[in-house]
Structure 1
Amino acid sequence: MLVSTSIPTDSAIHDLSVVHHAGSSLIACVDERGGVWTWSPSAGEWLDRPLPYAHAGDPVVAEFPDAENCIDMVAALSVDGKLLLAAGGDEQEPAFWDLGTGELLWRTPLNGAYLADVLALDGVFVTAQQYSEEVRLWSPDSTDTVLGEVGELSCLGGARVGDRLLILAGGSGAEVWDAATGTNIATFDADEGRVWAVTACALAERTAIVAATEQGNLYAWDLDAGPHEPLYEPVTASQGSLETVAVMTVDGRPRVVTAGQDSLRLWDAAEGFEAGHVLTRGHDITAMESAVVEGRRALVTSGLDGVLRIWDESDLAAR
């Protein structure tokens, strides 16, 4: 393992976002109390990032002067030297802050369309809001565009596959857009259960769309072969729901990584067989992201134990 570090508060970590800022990697996290922190792998330094309440000026909450942010999900973006954060949660609409100054830059209205997921991708934020069924692109200047409307939104994903950048959304199935054109290019249906996590990866000359469901099943489809062409039959990857998924190249092959209560499990992305596992007892993974950290491809995980862990390929090799 490259690094293991504990958040300096007695709290679990709910979500994380890896960003390259000011010449080095930075990991933004949110704890179970809604507090936002950043950790620098190069400096080994945690910073508390207090944020003003997103809806403090709204007359609806004027009678609640002690109201605070209810943040569960975060996405960080570095633009023109500024470190920006989009965040919200199961009981708060998305908003956007400058982490350097702590300034609130924009917020969506109080309308009950709370955040389902948020993603930073290629210089923009992507949000999916509960009940609104809309996936939106937000530029750093806070202008927004509806990318698409899909039912039962629960998660977002993004991946660069070859020269194509993909935006994905999960709910009753999986939707795929070409980020460059904003075009919806595919829809896939999972036979059972809602999609709780979705990603994509390259397989030789194919593109695999991978979805994890509330039933604990792992689905994979060939993006260019049509919606009814699974790469393999659904795999039972967990006895409970799968709420996070990532892709890492391990032993020279792309592996889909799923997180259970006490282990990371690796699956061959092309054929669906189990290709290894790593015990993580006590970590209880809440979020994970495949990212470049200080110049190395790594898997970053957070847990109910309040720990960030950074794994490289050798940590995940077949065992």
Structure 2
Amino acid sequence: MAFSSNGQRIVTGSQDKRAKVWDAVTGTNLLTFSGHTNRVWAVAFSPDGQRIVSGGWDQTARVWDAANGNELRTLVGHRRAVLSVAFSPDGQSVVTGSQDHQVKVWNATNGAVLHTLRGHGASVFSVGFSPDGKWIISGSGDQTARVWDAASGEELRAFKGHGSQIGSVALSPDGQWIVTGGGAVRFSPDGRSVVANIEDDPTAKVWDTGGGMEVLTLEGHTGAVSSVDVSADGRLVVSGSFDGTARVWDVRSRREVQRVSGLGAPIRAVAFLPDGKRFVTGSFDRTASIWDIASGTELHKLEGHTAEIFSVAVSPDGRRMATGSWDHTVRVWDAATGRHSHTFSGHGAKVYPVAFASDSRRIVSADILGVGKVWEASSGKELVTFRDTKLLWSAAFSRDGRRIVTGTHGLTATVWDAASGKEQLTLKGHTEHIHAAVFSPDGRRIVTGSADQTAKLWDAATGEELLTFKGHSDWVFSVAFSPDGQRIVTGSGDHTIKVWEAASKEQVAKWQEEDRAATAVEQAPANPR
């Protein structure tokens, strides 16, 4: 059943092989369309109300004159029943979904097939166009909804998360949101409300068309993934885990390419060196190690801390490394030789995060009492102290070095002035404490990871929450941006690493399905660490 755009007429399809048009006010039958040779399953009006399209179990769709009931065109091409139909906003095209798992786009005037969209693995129960006609959305028995480029037929993205078939899909009037459900779903005309029939499937999901999609999961760890980092060229991800291993993953092949194991203690922190050939680990056995990626050989062991190492950082110029420890100190090391150069002893409690500024000249650290400090990296001189009321789990500089973001044992992340230590901004939205927070490479966004099992993307200037990334089943311990800022990597207590889109819908539309995970973190210069 479908209404005309002015709400005055209704069209219905029936098992009697016919479609009928009714007066929406009086219920009077205005027209009957006969021509299908089996039940009529789907119907829709054109935007101007002058035509109707119907889909039937006879494997055809038919276009009718809504004024006189004449059949204008038969659309032949599907190999099984046509279950869903829709006109484009300009009325020039028709899209159909079928039991043959395909979506087809047709010229509404001459009946020519413009595109056949392949990708679903089951019947396509619902189809529609975006308000601007640039996208097509489809929902299927394969439990996915998919977005396609209407001009090229290219699949842009797939939304996964339902536990049963998707019987209906709808786009908000502004094209920003998609709602999917097992039963009928619709947005209100102003886009502020969703109506869903949940009789068959108790879930309806709303998706952001502009981002927040999970594109890659790396599995293999048997313990919580405590730390992740992205190489400078974006090709590799390194992960450290409480299972006592560190693993290096090739994003293009989606495979583990190196594993460091047998360390005898949980690994709490990892970081790449800028050359992309080495990485460093920090462990609960009180040591840090520098590793060769190609061979898996330990190049240097950094010893000196008297308690567990919680964090490691590498200076962007590749000359120094810093470690933060529960022995209340920060130690600085020569990255080439592994030799200890300085110890910063200003904290009066366990040190959790450490990070370098992009100029490699300053280090920020924070402790369990909520005290943060900025140090001169070359001398250990204490430059600035700032204080929170909660334990500071994480701290990171912005690319320009003017701001610091911290994640707390409370429900907020805080942005500080790096020169004065004054609080500038508070990010509120998580429902559990925040384990990780970093700036995007351009400094315009912040990503946070939380014990509420989500990561969130924020506007770094206003504190506005932009996106929430849901998919992990345990705490999100670590977060990182790809070098170009278009992808986010998260590590979780559920033993997985996930890669997510962080870009706008315009950028998303340029990525092809087969290349999406492969290019997930591949671009140019690295995040400051």
- TM-score interval for Structure 1 and Structure 2 normalised by the shorter chain: 0.5 to 0.7
| Deviations 1:156-180 (CA, angstroms, capped at 9, x unpaired) | 23342xx676421111211123557
Please tell me the residue identity of whatever aligns with 2:270: L
Q: Which has the larger radius of gyration?
A: 2
Aligned residue number for residue 233 of structure 2: none
Cα 1:48–1:180 shift into 2, 3 Å: same
Out of 90, 94, 100, the residue aligned to residue 329 of structure 2 is 94
Q: Give the deviation of 1:188 after TM superposition.
A: 1.2
Does residue 245 of the first structure (1) align with residue 470 of the second (2)? no
Indicate yes or no: 2:426 matched with 1:194. Answer: no
The answer to whether the Cα contact below 8 Å between 1:52 and 1:104 also exists between their aligned partners in 2 is: no
**1:24 to partner: Cα distance:** 7.2
Counterpart of 1:119, as a letter, is: A
Greater shift in the superposed pair: 211-220 or 37-46: 37-46
| Residue number in structure 1 paired with 2:343 | 106
| Cα distance between partner residues in 2 of 1:18 and 1:265 | 18
Please give the per-residue CA displacement for 1:92-113, whole angstroms capped at 9, x wherever unaligned: 21232434373462241683x1
Q: CA deviation at 1:267?
A: 2.7
The change in CA–CA distance for 1:106 and 1:10 in structure 2 (over 3 A counts) is closer
| Correspondences of 1:88-237 after superposition (within 5 Å) | 88-89=324-325, 91-99=326-334, 100=337, 102-103=339-340, 105-108=342-345, 111=348, 113-122=349-358, 123=360, 124-131=362-369, 133-139=370-376, 140-152=378-390, 153-160=392-399, 166-171=403-408, 172=410, 173-177=412-416, 179=418, 184-201=423-440, 207-224=444-461, 226-227=462-463, 229-232=464-467, 234-237=468-471
Deviation of 1:125 after TM superposition, in Å, equals: 1.3
Q: Which of 250, 254, 257 is the equivalent residue of 2:489?
A: 257
**CA deviation after TM superposition for structure 1 residue 134, in Å:** 1.9
Choose from 72, 90, 114 the match for 2:310: 72
Higher strand share: 1
Inter-CA distance 187–40: structure 2 relative to 1 (3 Å threshold):
same
Distance 1:214 1:179 in 2: 26
Matched-pair contact (CA < 8 Å) for 1:166–1:176: yes
Distance in structure 1 (CA, Å) of the matches to 2:448 and 2:316 = 28
| Deviations 1:184-236 (CA, angstroms, capped at 9, x unpaired) | 43221234111111122268xx9222212111122222222x33x3224x443
SS in 2 for 1:4: strand
Distance 1:85 1:75 in 2: 6
Aligned CA RMSD, in angstroms, stands at 3.8
Q: Does 1:19 align with 2:255?
A: no
Q: Which residue of 2 aligns with 1:48?
A: 300
Distance 2:422 2:295 in 1: 41
Query: In 2 relative to 1, CA 135–42 (structure 1 residues): closer, same or farther, beyond 3 Å?
Result: same
CA shift at 1:182, angstroms? 5.9
Q: For residues 236 and 297 of structure 1, what CA distance do their matches in structure 2 show?
A: 27
Change in Cα spacing, 1:191 to 1:40, as seen in structure 2 (3 Å) is closer
AA matched with 1:30: G
In structure 2, the CA distance between the partners of 1:237 and 1:177, relative to structure 1 (3 Å rule), is: farther
| Alpha-carbon distance between aligned partners in 1 of 2:413 and 2:281, rounded to the nearest angstrom | 26
Deviation at 1:72, TM superposition (A): 2.8
**2:289 counterpart of 1:37:** yes
> SS in structure 2 opposite 1:199?
strand
- AA at the equivalent of 1:194: H
Structure number with greater CO (CA < 8 Å, separation at least 6) is 1
SS at match of 1:231: strand
Aligned equivalents of 1:191, 1:70: Cα separation in 2 = 28
CA deviations on 1:130-154 (whole Å, 9 max, x unpaired) are: 11x2221111200012252222211
Whole-angstrom CA distance in 2 between matches of 1:168 and 1:219: 14
Question: How far apart are the structure 1 equivalents of 2:430 and 2:313?
Answer: 30
State the percentage of identical aligned residues.
18
Letter in 1 for 2:488: V
Q: Contact 1:246–1:257 (CA<8 Å) still a contact in 2? A: yes
In structure 1, C-alpha distance between the alignment counterparts of 2:457 and 2:309, rounded to whole Å: 31
Cα distance in 1 between the residues matched to 2:298 and 2:262: 10
- Listed as ranges, the gaps of 5+ residues in structure 1 are 54-67, 279-289, 300-319
SS at 2:476 equivalent:
coil
Q: Deviations over 1:31-87 (max 9, x none)?
A: 34222211244786422324235xxxxxxxxxxxxxx443232223377x9x44332
Against the structure 1 CA distance between its residues 244 and 189, is the aligned structure 2 distance closer, same or farther, given a 3 Å change threshold? same
Give the Cα separation in 2 of the matches to 1:97 and 1:218.
Answer: 30
Q: Structure 1 stretch 40-49 or stretch 122-131: which is displaced more?
A: 40-49
**Which amino acid is 2:287 matched to?**
G
Q: CA–CA distance in 2 between the matches of 1:145 and 1:210?
A: 26
- What is the alpha-carbon distance in structure 2 between the residues aligned to residue 194 and residue 146 of structure 1? 25
Aligned length: 254
Cα 1:269–1:149 shift into 2, 3 Å: same
Unaligned runs of 5+ in 2: 1-249
Selected match of 1:268 from 498, 501, 516: 501
